[in-house]
Structure 1
Amino acid sequence: MSYKSDRPSFQERLDHFVSVIRTEIINGIRQEGTYLPAESALAKQFQLSNKSIRKGLEQLVEEGLIQKIDRVGSMVTPRPKESITLNFGCPISLTTDFLIDELIAEFGRRNPGIHVRRITLNHLSYAQSAQEMISNGLLDVVAFNSPQFQEWTEEGLTSLLEGLDSDPDIYPIAEEAFRVDGVGYAKPVSFSPVVLCYNKRHFQEAGIHEPDSYWTWSDLMAAASKLSKSRGRHGIYFLPASENRYPVFLLQGFGNRPKGIGGSGLNENVQEGLRALNELISSREVFPNYWAQGNDETVQLFAEGQVSVILCTYFNLNEFAHLPLEYDICPLPSLQRGDPQKTLLLSIGMALVRHSKWKEAARRFVDFLASEDAQNVIRDRTVSIPARKASAERAPMDGLKRPSRYWMFREMFPSFSYHRDLGLQIKDLRQFTKWLKEYWSDMIDEETLRRKLEELYRTGLKPGERSTAANENGIP
């Protein structure tokens, strides 16, 4: 991506070279027994010296992916004839979220008879893609984030997965995302709350105190206005229709409601949450009229200094790990001063396909990704939070640029909520997203939006829950 700098450092170019070759070997683009191009050709392609190319090739040799043949070249290492190939379905984002290709390579070194093929699943129809491939015997392991697994459960597909034992060394809240009727169907690897990320230098230049956990959204609006006037740029941005962003305003409106009850949309606090959201994104002074195609574009705007504050996850912070960017994070503001903090939690876990042909090998791969060694790689090489407590809370071993408040997630656990705590199914949340976009486009008014949300809760609840939730929220 262009925001990583116009002149990438030597280490970034070397890491890019190793990553590209590693990924091509793991995914079978470079076939076993074939040879890589000559060192001079690779040097020209990746804008590195021959000496640097040799250094990168040495790393690939250590990983067991290639062999150096004297006076011939670098050959992709043949796999044992008895090797097992595991098909692993996952989103492309895992390559940056926690360096999944490096973890696959390490697993291969430790298990030379098992080859893992990473298969990118369609993020727009993730559950459907995974279901079709599993039904056709084409997946052995599949990754889920928490909303994807919620949809999987709502579609009645948990029978396609193997139940997994709980791990006492993994944060319990990370396991909760993948638990149904007391059974865990995915082993957590990483998790992150949605947090506020801000440019420290922008705040200093504008003479504004940095945000803290006492801030309300009104405080943020006031600070964003000052930032915009001081710098001639916008103060804050996030993708308005992102289902991993705007639901925090609903969650904060629900406050301390018991899980599973949800709300009708008539509750005044819920309406207050929507009003705070609408006020923020409709203020063109502080919030740009920019419809990003994804969260990557939001990160790009922040990295380029186009905006001073974004809503993001720890996963997104990996994009800043090598940039000369002075930034930090803090918990999201609340609706009213003194309100309990609420934010959205995203967890990523690995599920074992029940009818996998290679179930024991697949189980070994899932267990490895949650193991101490793999979790320490995530801690040392990324800014993401490992799901294993001891790994997450150990001091890192390298010099990545991390926010000074990295550790604040340990104090935020009481504020964490999953999408399911909204009381809506994923399909209903998508419907509400569509109505929100219609409202923001002046196609429907606020009263219509409110009535639609009320009806969504009425029809979306199970019959046994409907009367209880209706009474608690004032629905006749």
Structure 2
Amino acid sequence: LPLDDLMTEAGVSRGDFIPALLSIFTYDGKTYALPKDWGTLGLVYLPEAFAAAGISEPTADWTWDDLKAAAEAIAATGQYGGFCQNADWARFAPWAFGNGGVYASDDLTTAMVDTPEVKEAATYILGMKDAGALVTASDVGAGWCGEAIGKKLVGMTYEGGWMVNYMRQDYADVDWKAVPLPTGPKGKADVIFTNGIGVNANTKYPRAAAAFAIFLTGRQNQAEIVKTGFAYSTHPDQLNLIQDPNDAAIAQGGTFDLTRVAYWGPNTGKVNDAVSQALERVYLGDQTVDESFAQAQEEIQTILNEQ
């Protein structure tokens, strides 16, 4: 159900929300859902790993090359894995976006992974893996890379604001920090995770349902969500509610010029899975980057054609 008239009646406007979040719920200029909350990624790291390697800690102006050099130095200590990243579309997205790549065209009709921009990003992280600077969580005996930080198995990883409560609850004695993601060759980029609340077009109670959606996505409820550390408010004037410095550093990724919501249409999940599978084939050495992403290009094009 388009919400625009009901939003106006409730005194709510599209301008109340972060534009990048609202865009994926907009069709033909009409608003079909309101963004409930969002999250993004940051460079999470262990200060003690940097001390062991005798190198400076990350800063907000780091580049890919800075991350690679630090990962190599940390790995060389033999005490930690350098940088942890699984074959995962979400953690790969900032690399692709930061090199000017995307997974599909803006009109959601054309696969875009068999491109120099995406394949250069994949080749870069594969180079780190081949050099021993990049490890997966399973390589170091962890279930996921956030756990690898908590167990002090790796020096760095890309993770989100969920790390704040996770570390507080499970690894309260571990000193960790976060900074925004490193800058790519084409600029600063991150990936946004979000969801929206809409109203069934067939509902018998459109006004009541819309009122509920507007309340859940409103400033009062969003402020309570921020307090939990689970996610960030979709209202730009509430970003200052983020109190934890690591959480605030991670949230900066939402403001980067090349940051995107990884939405590619109704079959977004299948598109993203195809990217993860392409990375998995490369990680395992089953295919080269060119071969794997050529296959993914065909798979994603078929997926988009079915939308």
Tell me whether the two structures share a fold, i.e. TM-score over 0.5.
yes
Structure with larger RCO (C-alpha < 8 A, sep 6+)? 2
The aligned length equals 292
| Matching residue of 2:180 | 331
- Which of 134, 138, 151 aligns to 1:304? It is 151
- Which of 59, 74, 91 aligns to 1:245? It is 91
Whole-angstrom CA distance in 2 between matches of 1:267 and 1:205: 39
Is 1:192 matched up with 2:46?
no
Whole-angstrom CA distance in 2 between matches of 1:459 and 1:381: 40
Using the TM superposition, give the Cα deviation of residue 224 of structure 1 relative to its aligned residue in structure 2, in angstroms. Answer: 1.4
User: Are the counterparts in 1 of residues 42 and 180 from structure 2 also a CA contact under 8 Å?
Assistant: yes
- Which of 210, 228, 233 aligns to 1:363? It is 210
Structure 1 residue runs of 5 or longer lacking an equivalent are: 1-161, 463-476
Using the TM superposition, give the Cα deviation of residue 331 of structure 1 relative to its aligned residue in structure 2, in angstroms. Answer: 2.5
| Matching residue of 2:119 | 271
Whole-angstrom CA distance in 1 between matches of 2:285 and 2:77: 31
| Matching residue of 2:128 | 280
| Matching residue of 1:64 | none
Is 1:164 matched up with 2:11?
no
| Matching residue of 2:270 | 427
Stretch of structure 1 that moved more, 430-439 or 182-191: 430-439
| Matching residue of 1:226 | 73
User: Are the counterparts in 1 of residues 43 and 157 from structure 2 also a CA contact under 8 Å?
Assistant: yes
- Which of 167, 174, 186 aligns to 1:320? It is 167
- Which of 201, 217, 221 aligns to 1:354? It is 201
Using the TM superposition, give the Cα deviation of residue 361 of structure 1 relative to its aligned residue in structure 2, in angstroms. Answer: 4.0
Change (3 A) 1:232 1:219: same
Is 1:406 matched up with 2:249?
yes
Stretch of structure 1 that moved more, 179-188 or 315-324: 315-324
Whole-angstrom CA distance in 1 between matches of 2:90 and 2:34: 21
Whole-angstrom CA distance in 1 between matches of 2:282 and 2:31: 39
Matches within 5 A, 1:137-176: 162-165=1-4, 166-176=13-23
Whole-angstrom CA distance in 2 between matches of 1:321 and 1:364: 35
What is the SS of the residue equivalent to 1:201? helix
**1:313-344 deviation digits (Å, cap 9, x = unpaired):** 223433234524432222322443xx311221
**1:108-152 deviation digits (Å, cap 9, x = unpaired):** xxxxxxxxxxxxxxxxxxxxxxxxxxxxxxxxxxxxxxxxxxxxx
Change (3 A) 1:348 1:404: closer
Using the TM superposition, give the Cα deviation of residue 380 of structure 1 relative to its aligned residue in structure 2, in angstroms. Answer: 2.8
Whole-angstrom CA distance in 2 between matches of 1:204 and 1:404: 23
What is the SS of the residue equivalent to 1:246? helix
Using the TM superposition, give the Cα deviation of residue 283 of structure 1 relative to its aligned residue in structure 2, in angstroms. Answer: 4.1
Structure 2 residue runs of 5 or longer lacking an equivalent are: 5-12
Whole-angstrom CA distance in 1 between matches of 2:269 and 2:159: 21
| Matching residue of 1:452 | 295
Change (3 A) 1:214 1:393: closer
Whole-angstrom CA distance in 2 between matches of 1:445 and 1:432: 14
User: Are the counterparts in 2 of residues 328 and 404 from structure 1 also a CA contact under 8 Å?
Assistant: no
- TM-score with structure 2 setting the length: 0.78
Matches within 5 A, 1:97-112: none
**1:210-236 deviation digits (Å, cap 9, x = unpaired):** 223433323212211222233612122
State the superposition RMSD in angstroms.
3.5
User: Are the counterparts in 2 of residues 255 and 340 from structure 1 also a CA contact under 8 Å?
Assistant: no
